[in-house]
Amino acid sequence: ISDTMLPMLQILVVLLLTAGVAGIRRDYTIRGAIEVDTNENTVFLFMSKLYVLENIPCYYSQHAGKWDPAYANASYARIRDFANGDIITNVSSSIGFGFVSAFVDEHPAGGGASTLWLFGSECNRCPHSPSTPQGCIANRTVQWWKATDATMTTYTSGVAAGTAKTYNVEVARVTSTVQQQAVAGLPPHKYVMILEISPTLFLVNNAADGDLTSGWVPIPGVNNDFGVSSGGPSIRFSALDLYYYAIEGGSHVQLVRTKDFKTWEKSPNAPFLEPTELDAQVAPYAGFPAVAEQRMFRPMAGDNWTKWDHNSNDADVCCMTTDPAFQNTSLVIFGAGTQGAPPKPPLTKANHCANIVATASMGLPQLLARHFDPNL
């Protein structure tokens, strides 16, 4: 390679790494990591403030079991302030559970104040064995937690009646009319749930009082073939276009949508997320700049990003809301890492995964829709 060609090749490599696969258009900006070694995360808006729910595994360096025996040898859910990283609560009733996600019912069907729900699986992510994959009990269904007040520090909890076996689970509000749902061949419902294990991947709930502890029923006639690799699913209903958007993932995160759960549309602008050197930045959120060194993230940055950032997974988005402050902004959060495999030298197991945040200067309905039609 000549001296004159080398700078041009270097520029080309940077452009390819930044832009991803040719033809992929990003309507968001990847801001970087907010934490190392946590499992699935959800960013949520509650009472006009952003928070992050994190699933905490035993290999996390700040696991509560290091100082509180009640948490020893168990996974659990934690909620932090998204801006400064302060811990709001370790959800004690989630000890021994995993794959927990947050859902804010901003306008409950029965009226009343905004309500925070958590949904997860009876999967203790710490002890694994052939008989308990992912630490899950065989006869598990979905577990619910409901915050008793706006402090998010105390919860009631129980088994969500009518649900099925899963790993990941997420719930979304549906605001279409009964007539619109009938046209799509769907039963009346105000909420939708996505699961991760076939054959039951989608359930709906028509609770008139907003009670999500029971009343879940499978959607009849569902087509479970999305046309993309499945895993780590999330779901949103958009009143903008009456689509249900499902976020699925393998080594790359894909976005698909449907109006009837029978016909699925895969975005031509695929994938939605993929590994990139931008994942190896320190994001200005959750207090991470102050602790990135302590969390051993610095060795993961720069040229070392290819040694650990092999998969994009377990993505979620925020926020479907009527809050005026979030009509022109949205967030994406996802995992980046080796999916449990050792990273390449010189990195160690302590440098194998991070949770990444991206932001967009448009509301979430627009962000999802533009991934299918850039002219919107």
Q: pLDDT tens for residues 30-61?
A: 999 999 999 999 999 999 999 999 999 999 99
pLDDT number for residue 131: 64
Rounded-to-integer distance, Cα 131 and Cα 129, Å: 5
Residue 160 scores a pLDDT above 70:
yes
Q: Which amino acid is at 43?
A: V
DSSP-derived letter for residue 38 is -
Specify the pLDDT at position 16: 42
pLDDT digits (tens, 9 = 90+) for 171-200: 999 999 999 999 999 999 999 999 999 999
Give the pLDDT band (50/70/90) at residue 276. Answer: very high
Averaged confidence pLDDT in the chain: 91
270 neighbors 244 (Cβ within 8 angstroms)? no
> Tell me: the pLDDT tens digits for 118-155?
999 999 999 766 666 778 998 899 999 999 999 999 99
Region of 109 (left: φ > 0; alpha: ψ -120 to 50; beta: rest) is alpha
Q: What is the pTM of this model?
A: 0.92
Average of per-residue pLDDT across 308-331: 96
Q: What is the CA radius of gyration of the chain?
A: 20
Q: Dump strand ranges (E) for the chain.
A: 29-36, 41-46, 49-56, 76-81, 87-91, 98-105, 115-121, 142-147, 155-159, 170-173, 191-194, 202-205, 217-218, 234-238, 243-249, 253-258, 265-266, 311-318, 330-337, 353-360
Sheet of 253-258: strand order equals 234-238, 243-249, 253-258, 265-266
Residue 262: strand, helix, or coil: coil
| pLDDT above 90 for 249 | no
d(C-alpha 195, C-alpha 308), whole Å: 28
